[in-house]
A and B are shown apart, each in its own frame.
Chain A
Amino acid sequence: MDQLSLLLDGFGAALTPINLLWVLIGAILGTAVGVLPGLGSAMAVALLLPVTFSLEPTAAFIMFAGIYFGGLFGDSTAGILLNTPGNSSAIASTFEGHRMAKNGHAAKALATAAIGAFIGGLIATTLVVFFAPTLVKLATVFGPAEYFALAVFAFLAISAVVSESVVRGLAALGIGLALALVGIDGPSGTARFTLNLPQLFDGISIIVITVGLLALGEVFHVASRIHRDPVATQIKTSGKARINLRDIRRALPAWLRGTAFGAPFGLIPAGGAEVPTFLAYGTEKKLAARRKDPEFGTTGSIKGLAAPEAAANATAGTAMGALLALGLPTSATAAIMLAAFQQYGMQPGPLLFDRSGDLVWALLASLFIGLVILLIINLPFASVWAKLLNIPRHYLYAGITVFSMLGVYAVSSSVLDLWLLISIGLLGFLMRRYSIPLAPVLIAVILGPMAETELRRALAVSEGNLGILVGSPITVTLYLVLAGALLVSGVQHLRHRRSRKAGSQEPQELVRA
């Protein structure tokens, strides 16, 4: 067991007082952004990237590990107490969680969510430790054609299979690929789409794109709706009904089932935890119907909350494995983590374990430490975190705006970057306004350059013969699975459109855009 001794070395590196402090800071920040609706780990890492430049890479990644899991610990709090999930990964937990809260079991629901997130993350991270070397071995047989197939798979899975609208998903993909093209082309040295501005020779900074889309775009979007959307009312967490041994015994099978749903999805570029959390919730619903469980759907079932919470963090855990070993980001948050590695001059993938093995194992160890710290700061204090929801929204978003400008200015001290940031923020606002998904943009910006390089490399080897792209069993399998998924989701879209047409004869009111 080579991994165990490597992991122990990782713990040695991560368990210094200063690094523990970084995990703690990351865990607190992560939980905070998770609790606040509309913010998430991806945005927190994007905002912190520029500020952490002066840190040592290990310290920065240890902090990001805390943020990465912390967002998923916090996101169910707002869902349970306000019925407005902090992120879409918490929607499935909200159904039963909010019912429990309404029936006076808010504290129990928050504890169930925190323990579920811990168990899911713990099992998934353990799996990563043991299977990462296998994934690395798999990745070493990948050639250019295989990497290109993997990128195409990620692009289309996120933009066309899981998104709400295929056209809008592909539009987002196109925008992301276009943004990634700006700058000097590596292989040939040709300047592309730079308008002869030397500031653009290095391309549009990934920080400008992520902060613009995720932070500034969100602020603009909130501004457009803040005086119009109704304010949700919060349920008080006071009262008894703490979690007891009997609850834990009831929730345990659901936590484990949720983990089993979540873990495989971390390896698939399906955009994150939404699909597995809903799958886990659906399974619990079916089981409850079979057992004739009266709580489910009425007073709130602890199992219906436990399963999706565990699924979400299990997905995040194995997603880290796919990211480190294959260099494949399977969700928007993972894409930002990949960008963080690139900012520090590291490329996740098989070589990372050789070149920066110390950092990788310290990062994996700090994922474990982060989970323990998150459980400690979330289990007894969930109601304290809920107080964050009382921060006046105008201070929150004013602070985020100032931080966005600060971060982007800090990278290059360039006012041009700030104008670029505002343009991309407006683009993010436009995309939110018309429900055009943001995840495909982020994935395309991060994986676009890799896809282009590998495609050109493959075609250069085959001297222009396209056959090389489907020349190995791995690529053929990837394309077939992708085609199958596209077909299934296409049928799905058509079926729902038809059933909606049949039932939408209601009167309409005009609202101008």
Chain B
Amino acid sequence: MSITGSKPAADERGHTGRPEDKPSFGTGRGELLVAVVLYALAVFLTVGTISMNVQGTAAPGPQFFPVLVCVLLYGVATALTIQVLRSRSIPDTRKHPGRGNFSPDMLRDLARLPEERAKAGSPESWRTYSDWKTVGMVVGGVAVFTAALNILGWILSAAFLFWIICRALGSKRPGFDAGVSLLFASAIQLAFNAGLGLNLPAGFLGGLL
């Protein structure tokens, strides 16, 4: 009985596949990045609160609530740092059925399900949990779209965005995708300009037509 819906590990010998490297400091501690984001947010709020140009004299004023939020952020950032430093998250194969929104332990107790043992090791051969090449292509595509939107216009930049994401996510037919992309982008432009009266940027094409 599994509330994760995970399949049993295909290869139970997974952990013997590779010689044990000596873990470097960062191994299994990628979550420190979250702590850095939290600290950065807290520092940003602190600076903003101190340098705030306060209007009015009502007490409690506009700085009161931000101070509370700052305290919360410093607190959770520190707690998270301690937690990550104390225990590495390896092997990184734990499933999170509620995506962190729900405690699987609590749900399991409510439904009277037996305790699940985390499966050790993983049968996969990847070195990093996230596929950074694909993420890079998608994020890069979105960034290029945003930068090019006003220059190339909606149709060309949206078609490019659609195409690059198909490519990144494993489509094998670039030519066909290009057609689908142009059709999709043009249909949106038509529907919006004609139907909703919303102006999407025409870009340099607008000058030609």
Chain A residues engaging chain B, CB cutoff 8 angstroms: 51, 54, 83-85, 88, 91-92, 94-95, 162-165, 167-171, 173-175, 177-178, 181, 185, 187-193, 216, 219-220, 222-228, 230, 271, 274-275, 278-279, 281-282, 285-286, 297, 332, 392-395, 397-399, 401-402, 405-406, 409-410, 413, 415, 418-419, 422, 425-427, 429-439, 452, 455-456, 459-460, 464, 489, 492-493, 496, 499-500, 503-504, 506-513
Q: Are B60 and A509 in contact (CB under 8 A)?
A: no
Q: Are A274 and B15 in contact (CB under 8 A)?
A: no
Q: Are B127 and A460 in contact (CB under 8 A)?
A: no
Q: Are A223 and B131 in contact (CB under 8 A)?
A: yes
Q: Are A216 and B58 in contact (CB under 8 A)?
A: no
Known contacts A397-B165, A401-B161; decide if A510 and B41 are in contact (CB<8 Å): no
How many residues of chain B are within 8 Å of chain A by beta carbon? Answer: 117
Cα distance A282–B15 when bound, in Å?
Answer: 35
B190 interface hit (Cβ, 8 Å): no
Cα distance A222–B169 when bound, in Å?
Answer: 9
Give the chain B neighbours of A193 by CB distance below 8 A: 44-45, 48, 66
Q: Are B131 and A226 in contact (CB under 8 A)?
A: yes
Known contacts A178-B73, A281-B111, A427-B37; decide if A435 and B96 are in contact (CB<8 Å): yes
Give the chain B neighbours of A164 by CB distance below 8 A: 96, 98, 100-104
Which chain B residues numbered 167 to 204 have a C-beta less than 8 Å away from chain A? 167-171, 180-181, 184-185, 188, 192, 196-200
Give the chain A neighbours of B127 by CB distance below 8 A: 511-512
Give the chain A neighbours of B38 by CB distance below 8 A: 171, 174-175
Q: Which of B80, B130, B167, B180 has the most CB of A within 10 A?
A: B130
Q: Are A513 and B76 in contact (CB under 8 A)?
A: no
Q: Are A282 and B60 in contact (CB under 8 A)?
A: no
Least CB separation from B74: chain A residue? A174
Q: Are B185 and A402 in contact (CB under 8 A)?
A: yes
Known contacts A190-B55, A508-B121; decide if A274 and B92 are in contact (CB<8 Å): no
With both chains docked as a complex, state the minimum distance between the C-beta of B166 and any C-beta of chain A, in angstroms: 4
Q: Are A405 and B99 in contact (CB under 8 A)?
A: no
Cα distance A10–B87 when bound, in Å?
Answer: 57
Q: Are A437 and B196 in contact (CB under 8 A)?
A: no
Give the chain A neighbours of B112 by CB distance below 8 A: 282, 285-286
B205 interface hit (Cβ, 8 Å): no
Q: Are B80 and A227 in contact (CB under 8 A)?
A: no
Give the chain A neighbours of B77 by CB distance below 8 A: 171
Q: Are B169 and A173 in contact (CB under 8 A)?
A: no
Least CB separation from B168: chain A residue? A223
Give the chain B neighbours of A278 by CB distance below 8 A: 107-108, 110-111
With both chains docked as a complex, state the minimum distance between the C-beta of B149 and any C-beta of chain A, in angstroms: 7
Least CB separation from A464: chain B residue? B59
Q: Are B104 and A459 in contact (CB under 8 A)?
A: no
Given A171-B76, A190-B53, 10 extra CB contacts under 8 A = A167-B79, A190-B61, A220-B135, A286-B112, A394-B168, A432-B99, A434-B30, A435-B96, A436-B100, A492-B106
Q: Which 3 pairs from chain A and chain B are nearest by CB? A: A513-B30, A506-B120, A435-B100
Give the chain A neighbours of B134 by CB distance below 8 A: 223-224, 226-227
Least CB separation from B108: chain A residue? A278
For A419, give its contact among B30, B104, B146, B188 (CB under 8 Å). B146
Known contacts A223-B168, A433-B130, A509-B122; decide if A410 and B198 are in contact (CB<8 Å): yes
Give the chain B neighbours of A192 by CB distance below 8 A: 48, 52, 62, 66
Q: Are A224 and B130 in contact (CB under 8 A)?
A: yes
Give the chain A neighbours of B124 by CB distance below 8 A: 228
Q: Are A510 and B66 in contact (CB under 8 A)?
A: no
Which chain B residues numbered 117 to 158 have a C-beta less than 8 Å away from chain A? 117-118, 120-122, 124, 126-132, 134-135, 137-139, 141-143, 145-146, 149-150, 158
Least CB separation from B130: chain A residue? A224
